[in-house]
Structure 1
Amino acid sequence: MEDRPKFAFVGNSHMAFWALNIYFPQWECMNYGAPGEGLAYVESFSVDTSDCYVVVQFGTNDIYRLNDENADEYVERYVKAVLAIPSLKTYLFCIFPRNDYDDYSTAVNKFIRMLNQKIHARLEGTEIVCLDVFDRLLQHGRLNPGLTIDDLHLNGKGYSILSDALKKAVNG
């Protein structure tokens, strides 16, 4: 029997809650997603994943601590943390939009879009494959409620978008 490729998923609840065995039965998947976590978790990630393809997504839990003054420092730390994870190849999902502001503001998602643009620009010229599904998760500037279970965490339709983007990049 041929060995299945090994994939390690690292990040926050979006990784932790992904039913990997359903979406990727052809892969050996290890889930290192940790609900509520963000940059500090990824910076301290110490599992040897050098024999794996690594899929990373985090950042939404860090948003409340960020502003225009510390965004560039965050982006530098973010990129350094992603680059430090050992892998055969790394696939990085963008920071996802969120909807947890009572006033239905789209300002947080405009800020997240700016962070994603800075991260993507900083990763140009590296081996990291950036998976930008941000616009596919949006509706009227907010996380599409039809893709979530609670206006923050993804449902099956949301995970189908992620799965399709990842499969396309891997098989691409």
Structure 2
Amino acid sequence: MSDAAPMAFVGDSLTQGGDWQTWLPGETVYNFGVGGDATDDVIARLDDVIGARPAVVALLIGTNDLAWRRSVEHVVRNVETILVTLRRELPEVRILVQSVLPRGHEFADQIRDINRHLWQFAPTVYAHWLDLWPALALEDGELNPAYSDDRLHLNAEGYRIWVDELVPALERVRQLPPTSRAITLPDLG
């Protein structure tokens, strides 16, 4: 990793709970994770992220929308709005969109649908995609209980798995020009 301009992590309690500065030594990290936030909340505070002028934005948001019974379309539309706004306001920023994490298996179909849409949309705004689902989900779509005590929040092992996936993705993002090509997208079949 590089010690270039700052990196911003944007999201909800999953992001807020990360010890990003420790896990990414040599980086200047801003943690814009707020417990309980849904996509509407991130839109409302996006000016704070833009004002920080990060070189990289790592976005993970959407699971709390499902708890509020918001539709897949609502989540996707709002994340698209976040990405378009970041691209417009910070044209040189490198954006890493992270898949909505698995939680209880009853949410699996909705989360898969959200992730499929975001995976398809990310390249249209020159954002890069990191699919965390394979590393964290059981076959039925449940968040692996080895990584969570409540079927939603990550424990230390869950964060370790996330960081193991995140670090190489951030390295790839840093190496690419900000508005070039997307990281090769996975087959979500």
Range class of TM-score, shorter chain: 0.7 to 0.9
- Preserved contact between residue 99 and residue 129 of structure 2 (Cα < 8 Å): yes
Amino acid at match of 1:111: Q
Amino acid at match of 1:82: L
CA distance, structure 1, for counterparts of residue 95 and residue 160 of structure 2? 20
Report SS of the residue matched to 2:7: strand
Who is 1:92 aligned against? 97
- Preserved contact between residue 40 and residue 78 of structure 2 (Cα < 8 Å): no
CA RMSD in angstroms, aligned pairs only? 2.0
1:140 paired with 2:139, answer: yes
CA distance, structure 2, for counterparts of residue 119 and residue 4 of structure 1? 27
CA distance, structure 2, for counterparts of residue 22 and residue 149 of structure 1? 23
Matched-pair identity in %: 24
Q: Where is the helix percentage greater, Structure 1 or Structure 2? A: 2
Report SS of the residue matched to 1:130: strand
- Preserved contact between residue 37 and residue 64 of structure 2 (Cα < 8 Å): yes
CA distance, structure 2, for counterparts of residue 8 and residue 65 of structure 1? 26
- Preserved contact between residue 97 and residue 122 of structure 2 (Cα < 8 Å): no
Amino acid at match of 1:93: Q
Give the deviation of 1:164 after TM superposition: 2.2
Give the deviation of 1:64 after TM superposition: 3.0
CA distance, structure 1, for counterparts of residue 163 and residue 42 of structure 2? 21
Who is 2:127 aligned against? 128
Who is 1:111 aligned against? 110
Aligned counterparts, 1:1-172, within 5 A:
3-44=3-44, 45-47=46-48, 48-66=51-69, 70-85=71-86, 86=90, 88-99=93-104, 106-141=105-140, 142-172=142-172
- Report how many residues are paired: 163
CA distance, structure 2, for counterparts of residue 34 and residue 122 of structure 1? 24
Q: Where is the strand percentage greater, Structure 1 or Structure 2? A: 1
Amino acid at match of 1:140: E
Give the deviation of 1:143 after TM superposition: 0.3
Report SS of the residue matched to 2:124: coil
Unaligned segments of structure 2, at least 5 residues: 173-189
Give the deviation of 1:135 after TM superposition: 1.9
Report SS of the residue matched to 1:37: coil
Who is 2:177 aligned against? none
Shift in alpha-carbon separation, 1:152–1:62, aligned structure 2, 3 A: same
- Preserved contact between residue 8 and residue 54 of structure 2 (Cα < 8 Å): no
Give the deviation of 1:66 after TM superposition: 4.1
